[in-house]
A and B are shown apart, each in its own frame.
Chain A
């Protein structure tokens, strides 16, 4: 997702619609910088709730980039699901645990090196996958993707994954309840 966004300026530079593109490039730069900063703060801050809030900013940045690319429905989905539900779940999760809501000195972990390696490896794999599958395909920003188009592909090519999503959600919910039960028992 984020990597797709990072390759945007190169894509934009090749097209030639003038001022609008300059404005979009500037907007992209600001959003990307904000996202990078908040993503870094998510892992560096000592306050768990602050980390969750920086995560919100990073996710909002993703939504903004989707809208910049003309994928408005996906952008709103990002806000509704990630900001509206997933991070709220995180915050409730934090409140469930005994974690103190203020500053904690040691949310830091020993395995910094391994974490950094994993992150780099993930970035390499994801960029490889993206570049390999999309190459220099351009996104036509002037004709944004419609919800109708999203719907057409869900209900034709992706119908099996779509139905599988509901089973996945059911499994996730059962998992949550089982975990919650065990918590109660002890």
Chain B
């Protein structure tokens, strides 16, 4: 059985030779004149002012987490799909229960807002505490040019009253 992997191994060796051979040829043929500016981090010509960010949003971590959950589910689905013909209704119902529980974890993750990447400003725009160009009950002045900005604190109470 293992002989079936022989051609894959052969292609692996060829691919490695191709890559390493490329590096070696380039190493022999390419010019080499490094200087400090070339070797600095590329920032479109600017001198790098800040260090690389050290922390990333927790959302990335949670995506990896839900991926593990689904990966394990997929791994368990594969034996089922291969044997579906012989397992029949029993297999179907056990996999339905399993999938429901996994789907539930996706629901939990989504509903806790963990998969929300969207710009929050878009959500804010829908809120009412914004300057409106229209006349209000307390003022007849049309406030043009400030639409969509948050109200000043005193205006907010006015608006509410």
A and B touch in the complex (CB under 8 A): yes
Q: A85-B67, A147-B79, A155-B90 are in contact. Are A169 and B72 (CB under 8 A)?
A: yes
User: Given contacts A92-B56, A162-B94, are A172 and B80 in contact (CB under 8 A)?
Assistant: no
CB neighbours (8 Å) of A101 from chain B are 52, 54
A24 within 8 A of B: yes
Which single residue of chain B is at the shortest CB-CB distance from A88?
B64
Chain A residues with Cβ below 8 Å from B112 are 177
Interface string of B63-103 (1 = CB under 8 A from A): 11111110111111011101100110011001001100110
Give chain B residues whose Cβ lies under 8 Å from the Cβ of A85: 64, 67-68, 71
Distance in Å from the Cβ of B27 to the closest Cβ of chain A?
24
Please give, as numbers and ranges, the residues of chain B lying within 8 Å of A183 by CB-CB distance. Answer: 58
The answer to whether the Cβ of B62 comes within 8 Å of any Cβ in the partner chain is: yes
Which A residue sits closest to B85, measured CB to CB? A148
Cα–Cα distance between A167 and B104 once the two chains are bound (Å): 10
Interface bin, chain B: 35 or more
Is B114 positioned at the interface, with any CB of A under 8 Å from its CB?
yes
Q: Is the CB of A147 within 8 A of B82?
A: yes
Q: Which chain A residues border B130 with CB–CB below 8 Å?
A: none
Chain A contact residue count (CB 8 A cutoff): 50
Chain A residues with CB below 8 A from B102, complex form: 166, 169-170
Known contacts A86-B68, A89-B65; is-contact A170 B108 (Cβ 8 Å): yes
Which of chain A's residues has its CB closest to B112's CB?
A177
Contact call B87/A92, Cβ cutoff below 8 A = no
CA distance A166 to B12 in the complex (A): 37
Selecting from A8-16, A43-51, A54-62, A76-84, the interface stretch reads A76-84
How many A-B pairs have beta carbons closer than 8 Å: the answer is 136
Q: Is the CB of A81 within 8 A of B58?
A: no
Q: Which of B5, B75, B97 contacts A80 (CB 8 A)?
A: B75
Q: How far is the CB of B36 from chain A (nearest CB, A)?
A: 19
Give Cα distance in the complex from A183 to B101, angstroms: 27
Is the C-beta of A117 less than 8 angstroms from some C-beta in chain B? no
Q: Is A125 an interface residue (CB 8 A)?
A: no
Does A172 lie within 8 Å of B71, measured CB to CB? no
Among B2, B54, B74, B76: residue with most chain A CB under 10 A: B2
Produce 1/0 per residue, A137-148, CB < 8 A to B: 000011010011
Beyond A80-B75, A89-B61, A166-B102, 7 extra complex contacts between A and B, CB < 8 Å:
A80-B74, A89-B64, A98-B54, A101-B54, A162-B98, A163-B97, A183-B58
Could you list some 11 contacts between A and B, CB below 8 A? A68-B2, A81-B75, A85-B64, A86-B68, A89-B67, A89-B68, A148-B83, A152-B83, A162-B94, A167-B101, A172-B65
Residues of A within 8 A of B (CB): 20, 24, 67-68, 70, 72-73, 77, 80-81, 84-86, 88-89, 92-93, 95-101, 141-142, 144, 147-148, 150-152, 154-155, 159, 162-163, 165-167, 169-170, 172-174, 176-177, 180, 183-184
